[in-house]
Homo-oligomer: A and B are copies of this chain.
């Protein structure tokens, strides 16, 4: 048994058991606590992350032809980290050269090394989290949790799913076929797990580790070299991660060019890389336009794509009006709605809803939700921590232009951030519109923009939700209802449309959150994504079984 497999066996067993039950489980502590991570972890991690600013980030990769510094912090923190730009073909050639040794290491060896890499990423959680924070504009706690332990959990989940699939193939078999009174036919057989070829993992600007680790580790553990191509504005967390993985590889006498970083701010260069014949799988998180281009053009590769969607919530009735509003207000505010899981549309019947506080008209619900958002963000410290900063100029533009679309319930306000004066802190914009104005609410408006949509009744709301999921895609939908028949109808609608449903969320679980090992992130069954974190389908097609047999 490979020593690193043995070392991390209990973590793997925990993950496998969690996958079997899908109850709560996590390998990496989510609290940035000094007790867990060490008294100096935060200071050292922050210093390490910010210490990259203005420097060349050395990775010792082949084919270096220059340096690129493309990041602008949404907090206005000076970065100017220079990353090595490498000839794509040099990265690919080096990657291919590493494959045979990586394959020969076997399932347990590759799994052990991936688990060691995840443990080392966990140790670097503070450095990575500060890098996530400064490049994405996330608030600190989210940057730590989603960028650190939760991302590591998603990576571990991919390793464990792939391990389960690979280890279900025996490496050897003895085949004895009875021949009546004659001696049996006997054969020895061997089965080898072989990767598909170079894997390309294309990251997004908002969750540079959480959306990168699943593809990175799924491809790696199944025997494939991986080229990580981060978003040009969120390279640092990926670069630190790639460096750590390369260190672990080198320590284990594996050519570190098995995992490399490709940086570019030119989509044409990414397109050329994605269509290289040696690239056999692509994991992509990002826009519909580029994702569609990949699916249409990178035909030599299996593309796992998470694209845009129009997440929505149906409110039919509730027995906890205040808690519902509070729960939704947090969802709409968290990271200023810059999550692929944030609710955009809220469908409310025209004649209002029944609640524990009496009947509420459509307008009541809209304005009460606006007030709940306002209340949540009334404390400046809470507001800046929850909202973070707007990551992209495109989102700023959408916030600016959106008020023309519909009637404003709550205007977006720009807040000051005392620590980072250059931060773009924007509170959610809530608007209301009629279901007839489809163009207003059926298009994805990424960022802190919410449409409260007036629908004829609850059944119309459910039908509209189903239609939008089927046509536009969604990662999440929610329902508030006290009536079993409404819950049943929404359940059926989400089974038909293929989307995860959260019912009556009131306390500290939010529709935009998915927990590794329990919640599947995306279903692969609607246009928002063609794959899920993580199920069998996410890993099973990343390797092949090659057999040989001979008579005994």
Instruction: Write the residues of chain A forming the contact surface with B, with a CB cutoff of 8 angstroms.
Output: 19-24, 100, 103, 164-165, 168-170, 173-179, 185, 187, 189, 191-192, 194, 196, 296, 299, 491-492, 494-496, 498-509, 515, 518-520, 523-525, 532, 535-537, 540-541, 544-551
Contacts and interface: CB of A to CB of B under 8 A. Distances in A.
Nearest to A543: B537
Contacts of A492: 100
A515 B189 CA distance: 12
Contacts of A525: 194, 196, 544, 546
29 contacts: A21-B170, A22-B170, A22-B175, A24-B176, A24-B177, A24-B178, A100-B495, A100-B496, A165-B536, A165-B540, A179-B508, A185-B507, A185-B508, A189-B518, A194-B498, A194-B525, A495-B546, A500-B546, A503-B550, A504-B551, A505-B551, A509-B551, A519-B547, A520-B545, A532-B544, A532-B545, A537-B540, A540-B541, A541-B541
A345 to B, nearest CB: 19
Nearest to A327: B551
Contacts of A546: 494-495, 498-501, 523, 525
Most buried by B among A174, A177, A501, A523: A177
Contacts of A508: 179, 185
Given A23-B175, A174-B23, A541 B537 contact: yes
Nearest to A535: B545
A520 B100 CA distance: 22
A383 B103 CA distance: 45
| Copies held by the complex | 2
A378 B502 CA distance: 72
A452 to B, nearest CB: 23
The 6 closest A-B pairs by CB, nearest first: A536-B540, A503-B550, A525-B544, A22-B173, A501-B548, A540-B540
A175 B547 contact: no
A185 B26 CA distance: 14
A25 to B, nearest CB: 9
A547 B494 CA distance: 9
A547 B192 contact: no
Main secondary structure of the interface of A (DSSP, over half): mixed
A524 B500 contact: no
Most buried by B among A20, A168, A192, A551: A551
A462 to B, nearest CB: 14
B185 A509 contact: yes
A551 B176 CA distance: 53
A551 B320 CA distance: 12
A168 B500 contact: no
Nearest to A104: B495
Contacts of A496: 100
B518 A175 contact: yes
Contacts of A550: 502-505
Nearest to A547: B500
A544 B521 CA distance: 12
Contacts of A509: 185, 187, 549, 551
A480 to B, nearest CB: 11
A507 B179 CA distance: 12
A542 B379 CA distance: 49
A299 B298 CA distance: 13
A184 B57 CA distance: 43
B544 A498 contact: yes
Contact of A502 (B518, B524, B548): B548
A492 B103 CA distance: 11
A138 to B, nearest CB: 21
Nearest to A190: B491
Contacts of A523: 544-546
Nearest to A26: B177
Contacts of A24: 175-178
B173 A21 contact: yes
B494 A548 contact: yes
B518 A173 contact: yes
A532 B540 CA distance: 12
Contact of A168 (B20, B192, B299, B502): B20
A491 B515 CA distance: 43
Contacts of A520: 191, 545, 547
A115 B498 CA distance: 27
Contacts of A519: 189, 547, 549
A548 B185 contact: no
Contacts of A541: 537, 540-541
Given A544-B532, A547-B519, A191 B507 contact: no
A497 to B, nearest CB: 9
A498 B194 CA distance: 8
Nearest to A518: B175
B495 A103 contact: yes
